[in-house]
Amino acid sequence: TLFPYTTLFRSITNVTTTATLTLVAHGVAVGSIITVTGATPSAYNGTFIVASVPTADTLTYTMLSDPGG
């Protein structure tokens, strides 16, 4: 499932290559494809498959590299 717009997120954190994105009431399901832009460092940006949805306001995805944050 393609999430139909560029993600407008509140915050983003990581543990190695797993990013946790906070997006209030996102409605995204595991396996959806999302696009993240405008994040710093740039390793957070790109098109990714949602790996998990821990809460209604957070989701995780795997980046290609560890952004070091």
- Cβ proximity of 8 and 35 under 8 Å: no
Q: In this predicted model, what pLDDT tens digit does every residue of 17-69 receive, in sequence order?
A: 999 998 888 888 999 998 888 888 989 999 999 999 999 999 999 999 998 85
pLDDT given at position 27 = 86
| pLDDT surpassing 80 at residue 3 | no
Q: What is the C-alpha separation between 41 and 63, in angstroms, rounded?
A: 12
CB-CB contact of 29 with 57 (8 Å) = no
Residue length of the chain? 69
Regarding pTM above 0.75, the answer is yes
